[in-house]
């Protein structure tokens, strides 16, 4: 599997990012030797997915620090994308070191990446056990899931969040099928999830976003599982636009709808989903997806990159620390058991 994020060398090294905008057709890397290149890579989705954005930003700080511009680097990287709280969480964590020593910052960035790897596996273990219990499945039975966007290896430092259960089930020798919504407008499901799961030998069925209803009606999946960009204190969850539609369909069809995320994706300072900033992206992503104009020249466009799934549509949130079910503010706070701090 291709590595989405890699720090090459020591403190005078550079950040190598797999350019995910070119996948699956082309494997191309961006070598970031200055902070602005990291900023642009995040902004244009060369690196994307909440945990991956946070990890990349942390490495970007190494470059800032060695140029004696750590504060400027942190301030600049904070403006790259607004919704995924992992970005702010990682930058706050670097700032909290209260050092400009590039070696200490590099060590911290490596730690953030390594911890994310471990958190993904932990999420996978909890998610698999939960799905088996919710669906009354014996642990060796085939696993059939539906997901939206890409919350996989390409979006994290490990085996993904929403995909982790599928990877672990595959490791255990179980048959696994994942229905992947193509995820308009930028096709993270088609270009990235279908790509990485196929690479792992996992059976993928790529579907148009609008086909999810038919998949659920036909009883083809045991559960829907998605990642998250930010989870508010009451459990409302921001994730790729289209997620709430899938959650509504899952409720209609009586299918469990699960959100999988590490603790770095929670923002206890944001009370509800209504206060989560939703990124709006360029109209061209909708009207000229991948180069071909598919809409009239003057059409006005609304292109929110994320939506909010209300907590009451979420059967459970699966974290690296266990399962939150049912989802409520008390349960979220109790689960995280912290007196929350920053991340804005
Ligand atoms: C583990 S990644 C979780 C989310 O970040 C993911 O589901 C998602 O919505 C990514 O959106 P993107 O715009 O591709 O960064």
108 in a domain, yes or no? yes
Identify whether residues 217 and 331 lie together within a single domain.
yes
Identify whether residues 73 and 128 lie together within a single domain.
no
Q: 229, exposed or middle or buried, with CB in 10 Å at 0-12, 13-18, 19+?
A: buried
Any atom of ligand 1 within 6 Å of the Cβ of 161: yes
pLDDT at 329 over 80: yes
Mutate to test the pocket of ligand 1, among 4, 18, 48, 285 (most ligand atoms within 8 A of CB): 48
Cα 280 to Cα 184, 293, 302, 306, distances in angstroms: 14, 20, 8, 8
Identify whether residues 206 and 76 lie together within a single domain.
no
Q: What token pair was written down for 190?
A: 């088609």
190-214 mean pLDDT: 98
Q: Which of 113, 147, 178 is the last residue of a domain?
A: 113
Percent of the chain with pLDDT over 70: 98
Any atom of ligand 1 within 6 Å of the Cβ of 231: no
- CA of 229 relative to ligand 1 center, distance in Å: 6
Identify whether residues 68 and 36 lie together within a single domain.
yes
Measured from the Cα of 84, ligand 1's closest atom is: 5
pLDDT at 272 over 90: yes
Whichever domain contains 84, its CATH number is 1.20.120.420
Identify whether residues 193 and 109 lie together within a single domain.
no
SS (HEC) of the chain: CCCCEEEECCCCCEEEEECHHHCCCCCCEEEECCHHHHHHHHHCCCCCCHHHHHHHHHHHHHHHHHCCCHHHHHHHHHCCCCCCHHHHHHHHHHHCCCCCCHHHHHHHHHHHHHHHHHHHHHHHHHHHHHHHHHCCCCCCCCEEEEECCCCCHHHCCCCCCCCHHHHHHHHCCCCEEEEEECCCCCCHHHHHHHHHHHHCCCEEEEECHHHHHHHHHCCCCCEEEECCCEEECCCCEEEECCHHHHHHHHHHHCCCEEEECCHHHEECCCCCHHHCCCCECCCHHHHCHHHCCCCCCCCCCCCECEEEECHHHCCEEEECCEEECCCCHHHHHHHHCCCCCCCC
pLDDT at 343 over 50: no
344 in a domain, yes or no? no
Identify whether residues 284 and 223 lie together within a single domain.
yes
Q: Which of 60, 90, 113 is the last residue of a domain?
A: 113
Any atom of ligand 1 within 6 Å of the Cβ of 240: yes
268 in a domain, yes or no? yes
Any atom of ligand 1 within 6 Å of the Cβ of 58: no
pLDDT at 157 over 80: yes
Distance separating alpha carbons of residues 262 and 117, to the nearest angstrom = 10
Identify whether residues 174 and 246 lie together within a single domain.
yes
Measured from the Cα of 48, ligand 1's closest atom is: 15
Query: Of residues 132, 181, 222, 229, which has the active-site annotation?
Result: 229
The range of the structural domain enclosing residue 197 comes to: 121-336
The pLDDT tens digits of the residues spanning 109-124 come to 999 999 999 999 999 9
Q: Which of 113, 133, 148 is the last residue of a domain?
A: 113
Identify whether residues 76 and 25 lie together within a single domain.
yes
Any atom of ligand 1 within 6 Å of the Cβ of 151: yes
100 in a domain, yes or no? yes
Mutate to test the pocket of ligand 1, among 49, 183, 187, 309 (most ligand atoms within 8 A of CB): 49
Q: What is the ipTM of this complex?
A: 0.99
117 catalytic residue (yes or no): no
262 in a domain, yes or no? yes
Identify whether residues 100 and 83 lie together within a single domain.
yes
Identify whether residues 208 and 274 lie together within a single domain.
yes
Whichever domain contains 311, its CATH number is 3.40.50.10470
Identify whether residues 72 and 127 lie together within a single domain.
no
Q: What is the per-residue pLDDT for 57?
A: 98
Query: Given the structure tokens 């466009």, which residue do they identify?
Result: 301
pLDDT at 344 over 50: no
- CA of 43 relative to ligand 1 center, distance in Å: 13
Any atom of ligand 1 within 6 Å of the Cβ of 156: yes
Measured from the Cα of 148, ligand 1's closest atom is: 7
pLDDT at 206 over 90: yes
343 in a domain, yes or no? no
- CA of 100 relative to ligand 1 center, distance in Å: 30
pLDDT at 338 over 80: no
Residue nearest to atom 9 of ligand 1 (CA): 240
12-20 mean pLDDT: 98
Q: What are the binding residues for substrate? A: 48-50, 81, 188, 239-240
Identify whether residues 265 and 304 lie together within a single domain.
yes
pLDDT at 90 over 80: yes
67 in a domain, yes or no? yes
341 in a domain, yes or no? no
Any atom of ligand 1 within 6 Å of the Cβ of 158: no
The count of domains in the chain is: 2
Distance separating alpha carbons of residues 281 and 83, to the nearest angstrom = 12
Least confident of 101-115, 175-189, 262-276, 285-299: 285-299
């Amino acid at each position: 599997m291709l590595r989405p994020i890699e720090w090459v060398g020591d403190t005078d090294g550079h950040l190598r990012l797999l350019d995910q905008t070119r996948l699956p057709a082309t494997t191309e890397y961006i070598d970031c030797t200055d902070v602005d290149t990291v900023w642009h890579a995040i902004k244009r989705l060369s690196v994307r997915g909440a945990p991956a954005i946070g990890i990349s930003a942390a490495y970007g700080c190494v470059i800032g620090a060695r140029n004696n511009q750590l504060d400027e680097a942190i301030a600049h990287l904070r403006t790259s994308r607004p919704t995924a709280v992992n970005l702010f969480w990682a930058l706050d964590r670097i700032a909290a070191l209260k050092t400009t020593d590039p070696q200490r910052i590099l060590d911290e960035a490596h730690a953030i990446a390594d911890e994310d790897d471990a958190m993904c596996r932990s999420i996978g273990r909890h998610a698999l056990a939960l799905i088996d219990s919710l669906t009354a499945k014996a642990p060796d039975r085939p696993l059939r899931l539906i997901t939206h966007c890409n919350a996989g290896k390409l979006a994290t430092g490990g085996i993904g969040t929403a995909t982790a259960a599928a990877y672990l089930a595959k490791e255990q020798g179980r048959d696994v099928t994942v229905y992947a919504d193509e995820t308009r407008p930028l096709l993270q499901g088609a270009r990235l999830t279908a790509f990485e799961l196929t690479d792992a030998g996992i059976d993928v069925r790529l579907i148009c976003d609008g086909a999810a209803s038919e998949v659920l009606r036909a009883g083809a999946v045991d559960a829907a599982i998605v990642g998250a960009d930010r989870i508010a204190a009451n459990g409302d969850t921001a994730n790729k636009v289209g997620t709430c539609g899938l959650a509504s369909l899952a409720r209609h069809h009586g299918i469990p709808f699960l959100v999988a995320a590490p603790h770095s994706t929670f923002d206890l300072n944001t009370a509800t989903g209504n206060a989560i900033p939703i990124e709006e992206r360029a109209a061209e992503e909708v009207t000229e997806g991948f180069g071909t104009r598919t809409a009239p020249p003057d059409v006005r466009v609304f292109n929110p990159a994320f939506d909010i799934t209300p907590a009451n549509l979420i059967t459970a949130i699966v974290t690296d620390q266990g399962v939150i079910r049912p989802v409520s503010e008390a349960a979220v706070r109790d689960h995280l058991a912290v007196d929350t701090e920053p991340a804005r």
